[in-house]
């Protein structure tokens, strides 16, 4: 390869000199895409958790037999279990023991909580056959007859609240993503204008030498596309590293809170974060193009 | 090739820099544009280069009335014109080779097609060993030769030069005018804006003089 090929535009890839202040834009894009990737990861965690909770609760019923002072409700529990076992579509009925109850409250009250004196209800876990739709109203009435302190819960209200909470989280994250996209576009537009001003002489010269607007725009597009791609790759990689680190918090003496969804992303979910630099680069490309083309129209 | 009819030019709400300008550049002609500093030579050159729109009047270039052309139709016309700017206007971050190759790249040609031409042209202007040097490392005379090579590399039909000898010593100025005459012999229409009388007297070319914004024919067509 000759010296000339080494110094050609094709290998140098730039008709514009490296810009002063470009590092500031890189930093802004890296930070914005870091936040965008965190928001996207948050969307995936919220969505996954909502689905997981929903899947865990769908097809199940819980009967609570409320305590009556110091009297253990064992008789009512046995009667309720008998009624539940007779219902068509019920495949398993399991009355939870005191140990099971303690395990349930452990995440909130701690392993060594003193709970013996607390008035815990007795819980009966009921598993339904897939697709089974027992008449819950009739079942509740029958339960009341044999166990006056029994309360039937089909988790419908809980699932609905979970779903709407997850939807709010997802919507919030999407709004954040949209704001970050607008912020990125505005930053690139500002930087493009500044770049055009800084390279006014070059742009004017190219224009006078017969360069089409799209030739000049391509130089800027390429510059900002590559800058945004590199900076957003760094931002997204940092966000991915954050999620990976979050999955191993217990190794740093920070055990995960069991009733909160795990903050880690799976490998497949991490791959979705690649969308962030791709989108940021495309936004930068389109913004630079529009800014340059509109600015060039001031020239005859 | 170039025709101005009753052309006037003013910037913003200022006074008219040019008024009632009428002249034509015939194909293969060699013309000096003279006049005192501030007479409007550069403005007139800008109008020929389609860098500005006239305030009034008709400008035809390559047979096209510019007022009737769309903005997107102007770049191909500009590429048929080579320009040596007064301050050279080289791109400092590009090598001599890339500066000279710029018009060819703008025309959409590939480096493999024009590499040899550009190397030969730079050798011809005495810069064959400085292909990869950037303008800030070149002397004034060398920069000017790069600027001239860039102006002629695409074999333009019109060559414009604005005060090309303004920043060089008389010897280089003389060499430069010989180069322009040579190009003109091969059919390029040449127009040089200058107030260098020695340069003008060195040829028998036509002279258009700008006085009070008007063009006066001082010396007729060759």
- Checking if the pLDDT of A11 tops 50, the result is no
H-only helix segments in chain A = 3-7, 9-12, 22-57, 74-85, 98-109, 136-146, 156-198, 200-208, 213-247, 267-272, 275-296
Task: State how far the Cα of B49 lies from the Cα of A227, in Å rounded to an integer.
Answer: 35
Contact B189, B27 (CB under 8 A): yes
| DSSP E strand stretches across B11-135 | 16-25, 30-34, 56-61, 64-65, 81-84
Lowest mean pLDDT among A166-180, A206-220, A246-260: A246-260
Contact B208, B31 (CB under 8 A): yes
pLDDT for B174: 77
* Sign of the torsion angle spanned by Cα atoms A126, A129, A135, A138: negative
| Predicted complex ipTM | 0.89
- Higher-confidence residue: A106 or B32? B32
pLDDT in tens, B169-188: 777 777 778 888 888 998 99
A12, A15, A209: best to mutate for the B interface, most B CBs within 10 A: A209
pLDDT for B188: 93
pLDDT in tens, B186-198: 899 999 998 888 8
pLDDT in tens, A117-155: 677 788 898 888 887 778 888 888 988 888 888 888 877
Contact A287, A219 (CB under 8 A): no
Task: State how far the Cα of B79 lies from the Cα of B107, in Å rounded to an integer.
Answer: 7
* Contact between B51 and A206 using a beta-carbon 8 Å cutoff: no
Q: What share of chain B is helix, strand, coil (3-state, %, to 5)?
A: 35, 25, 35
Q: What are phi and psi of B190, to 5 degrees?
A: -115, 135
pTM of the model: 0.70
Task: State how far the Cα of A147 lies from the Cα of B146, in Å rounded to an integer.
Answer: 101
A210, A213, A216: best to mutate for the B interface, most B CBs within 10 A: A210
Which of A5, A17, A300 lies at the smallest CB-CB distance from B93?
Answer: A17
- Higher-confidence residue: A254 or B114? B114
Residues of chain B contacting residue A16, judged by C-beta atoms under 8 Å apart: 93
To the nearest whole Å, the CA of B93 is away from the closest chain A CA by 6
Mean pLDDT calculated for residue range A270-285: 91
């Amino acid at each position: 390869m000759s010296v000339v090929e080494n110094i050609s535009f094709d290998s140098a890839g730039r008709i514009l000199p490296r810009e002063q202040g470009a590092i500031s834009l890189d930093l802004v894009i890296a930070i914005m895409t870091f936040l965008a990737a965190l928001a996207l990861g948050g969307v995936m965690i919220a969505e996954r958790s909502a689905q997981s909770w929903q899947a865990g609760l769908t097809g199940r019923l819980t009967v609570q037999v409320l305590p009556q002072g110091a009297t253990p409700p064992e008789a009512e529990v046995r009667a309720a279990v008998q009624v539940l076992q007779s219902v068509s579509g019920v495949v398993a009925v399991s009355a939870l023991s005191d140990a099971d109850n303690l395990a349930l409250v452990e995440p909130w009250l701690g392993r060594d909580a003193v709970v013996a004196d607390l008035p815990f209800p007795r819980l009966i876990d009921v598993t339904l056959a897939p697709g089974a739709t027992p008449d819950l109203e009739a079942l509740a009435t029958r339960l009341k007859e044999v166990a006056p302190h029994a309360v039937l819960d089909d988790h419908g209200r809980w699932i609905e609240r979970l779903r709407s909470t997850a939807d709010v989280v997802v919507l919030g994250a999407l709004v954040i993503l949209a704001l970050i996209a607008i912020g990125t576009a505005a930053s690139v537009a500002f930087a493009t204008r500044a770049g055009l001003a800084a390279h006014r002489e070059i742009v004017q010269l190219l224009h006078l030498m017969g360069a089409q607007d799209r030739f000049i725009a391509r130089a800027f597009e390429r510059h900002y596309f590559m800058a945004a791609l590199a900076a957003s790759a760094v931002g997204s990689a940092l966000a991915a590293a954050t999620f990976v680190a979050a999955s191993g918090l217990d190794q740093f003496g920070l055990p995960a809170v069991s009733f909160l969804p795990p903050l880690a992303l799976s490998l497949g979910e991490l791959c979705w974060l690649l969308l962030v630099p791709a989108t940021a680069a495309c936004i930068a490309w389109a913004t630079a193009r529009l800014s340059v083309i509109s600015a060039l129209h001031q020239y005859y | 090739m170039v025709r101005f009819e009753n052309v006037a030019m003013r910037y913003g709400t200022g006074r008219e820099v040019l008024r009632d300008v009428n002249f034509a550049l015939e194909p293969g002609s060699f013309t000096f544009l003279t006049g005192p500093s501030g007479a409007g030579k550069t403005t007139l050159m800008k109008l020929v280069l389609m860098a500005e729109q006239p305030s009034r009047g008709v400008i035809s270039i390559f047979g096209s009335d510019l007022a009737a052309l769309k903005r997107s139709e102007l770049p191909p016309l500009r590429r048929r014109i080579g320009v040596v700017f007064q301050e050279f206007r080289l791109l400092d971050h590009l090598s001599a080779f890339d500066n000279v190759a710029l018009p060819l790249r703008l025309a959409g040609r590939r480096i493999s097609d024009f590499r040899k031409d550009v190397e030969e042209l730079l050798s011809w202007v005495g810069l064959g060993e400085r292909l990869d040097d950037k303008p800030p490392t070149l002397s004034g005379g060398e920069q000017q030769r790069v600027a001239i090579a860039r102006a002629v590399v695409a074999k333009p039909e019109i060559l414009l030069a604005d005060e090309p000898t303004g920043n060089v010593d008389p010897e280089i100025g003389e060499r430069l005018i010989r180069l322009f005459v040579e190009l003109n012999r091969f059919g390029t229409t040449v127009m040089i804006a200058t107030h260098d009388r020695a340069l003008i007297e060195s040829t028998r070319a036509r002279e258009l003089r700008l006085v009070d914004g008007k063009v006066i024919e001082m010396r007729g067509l060759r």
